A and B are shown apart, each in its own frame.
Chain A
Amino acid sequence: MAVGLSVPTAGTVTVLGGEPAGSQAALDGIAFMAQDAPLYKNLSAADMLHLTRNLNLSFDHAYAKQRLDGLGIPLKKKSGKLSGGQQAQLALTLALARHPRLLILDEPLAALDPLARQDFMATVMTSMTDDGVSVMLSSHAIAELERMADYLVVLGDGELRLAGETDELLAEHRVLTGPAAEADRVAARMSPIQDKRAGAQAHLLVRSGGAAGDGAVPPGWEAHPVSLEEVILAYLRPAGAGSSVPGPRAQLTEVTR
């Protein structure tokens, strides 16, 4: 939507401080890497650089070449003959060489092996810290997000389930463990996001407004910190459903900086 490839059913999308999505100004400032890194398979990496340079106002050819050299991606090779990881890196290079203000990555990790994922994310992190590029990336790879996302948006069934600063989300959520006999009483007061009963023990995932107030731990209960993955999965499950119910299609979006 932000690059104008799809149209919202309601409302409007503006980007980069008020530019309509898909407009010339918006396309100039945003580099988008679609899922599965689409490239012209019969064109060489060098041709893809030329193509992208011709299609954009700004393109840092020297930077792109240097990056591909550094990654050991041969310029003469047809992009269709490159490995999945190399194709993703080439597509990312094309996007980064435009020196965008915003980089949008749609499921960039889906087709990559663990090693390629790590290399890919390292590049994204470098461009964020060195060049100050804002990155918005959607992913199902929850664990990868925890380390780098500053801001997290959880979508399920086309609805917003959760949004907030990653650090704050982690600080606000915890699991309360206590006797199952008291669980209903505690649950009524804390309105947990997830309520798991296992024998005599109950695990309630709760969100507290802060350190004080209703965040206080009831006597006889213990509070544990939670991982981002637990929080996300809890929000993706329909409220009250057991763990056997498959969660809805999840889309996690993170915005950095």
Chain B
Amino acid sequence: MTVLTVPAKPGQDAGAGRRTVPWQRMLWVTWRQHRATFISVPAVLAAAAIPLVIFGLKAHHDYTALVNCPLDPGKQSGTCTQLMTNFNSTVWPLANILSLLMGLAPVLLGAFAGAPLLARELETGTFRYAWTQGFGRVRWTIAKLTVLGSVLTLAAFVISQEFTWFFAPFLSRPTLNVLTPAVFDTRGLTYAAWTLTGFCLGVFLGTLLRRVLPAMAATLGGYVVLAGVTLLYLHYHYPVGTFWPMQVFEAGWLLVLSALLIAGTLRLVRRQAA
């Protein structure tokens, strides 16, 4: 961590203010203040990845065996019937639960990592310390959002790749395909984009409401409304109809929304009075 801290030169004229504090100094600051997030997110990721791999390997194996079973039920062996029953009654419900958890992760990150980010500073008064240091409050906000936002988005992208592999066998079910909303939003670009949007929504509402708990509640509510409208309505009205164009389109408008939320946050930070 000392690599990131540059000792100030002694005897430096404090009035030579045209220079600004280097951006990379915020790396240590963000790490130290949000160590819990930086440690818990990869830890949860790793903890989720292990069962996902184990369970996924079994699902893939069972599925391959099932595919090789004769189509005519009369000619199926006992093992095949057993496999089929097991796949439908145990593996499939478990996969459903995992899929649900995947869907919840972005909104939980938004509420627990995004909403308190500025709301806690505003609620406890520490913003009076942070915003009056030489770094400057708008740059401070930009740096924090960039570091935390990219780490969370990257983590979301990694887990969605793994989940995509895991979920592949289940797409053979007649009711599912890659465009089914619940499946579509856990893969490709959209999952990372939803995570970023959830985070930015939390940060914005936290800055607006200045209180941690109301901001968390508002983030949960706001995200559910946004996701609901998208899943039930917007999805079916995209100008494109195949997987990748739809992915790019949805991730695109979510990125625009995230940018707007960040711009709104910075505006609030700039104008926020004590």
Contact = CB atoms under 8 A, between A and B. Distances in A.
B128 A34 contact: yes
Contact of A50 (B5, B16, B20, B130): B5
A101 B14 contact: yes
Contacts of B87: none
Interface string A1-15: 001111100000000
Interface stretch (A58-66, A148-156, A191-199, A246-254): A58-66
Dominant secondary structure at the B interface = loop
A61 B8 CA distance: 8
A174 interface: no
A57 B12 contact: yes
Interface size class of B (residues with CB under 8 A): 35 or more
A6 B132 CA distance: 11
A30 B136 CA distance: 12
Interface string B103-131: 00000000000000000000011111111
A34 B134 CA distance: 15
A240 to B, nearest CB: 34
Interface in A46-88: 47, 50-61
Interface residues of A, number: 44
A3 B132 CA distance: 6
B7 A53 contact: yes
Contacts of B128: 5, 32, 34-35, 38
Contact of A34 (B17, B125, B135): B125
Nearest to A5: B274
Nearest to B133: A55
Nearest to A30: B132
Contacts of A26: 17
Contact of B4 (A31, A34, A54, A99): A54
B126 A7 contact: no
Contact of B32 (A23, A29, A47, A57): A47
Interface string B27-41: 011001100000000
Contacts of A55: 21, 25, 29, 130, 133-135, 140
Nearest to A22: B137
Contact of B28 (A23, A31, A43, A50): A50
A157 B140 CA distance: 34
A97 to B, nearest CB: 9
Contacts of A31: 132
B15 interface: yes
Given A56-B134, A61-B7, A25 B126 contact: no
A27 B10 contact: no
A26 B135 CA distance: 11
Nearest to B20: A24
Nearest to A19: B17
Nearest to B139: A24
A36 interface: yes
Interface of A: 3-7, 16, 19, 23-32, 34-36, 38-41, 43, 47, 50-61, 91, 94, 98-101
Given A28-B134, A35-B128, 4 more contacts: A38-B129, A39-B129, A43-B32, A54-B29
Interface of B: 1, 4-5, 7-10, 12, 14-21, 25-26, 28-29, 32-33, 124-137, 140, 271, 273-274
- Listed from nearest, the 7 A-B pairs whose CB atoms lie closest are A25-B17, A34-B128, A55-B133, A5-B274, A56-B134, A58-B8, A54-B25
28 contacts: A4-B132, A4-B137, A5-B131, A5-B273, A23-B17, A25-B15, A27-B132, A27-B133, A27-B136, A32-B132, A34-B132, A38-B125, A38-B126, A38-B127, A50-B28, A51-B29, A52-B133, A53-B8, A54-B26, A54-B28, A57-B8, A57-B12, A57-B20, A57-B134, A58-B12, A60-B8, A60-B10, A99-B14
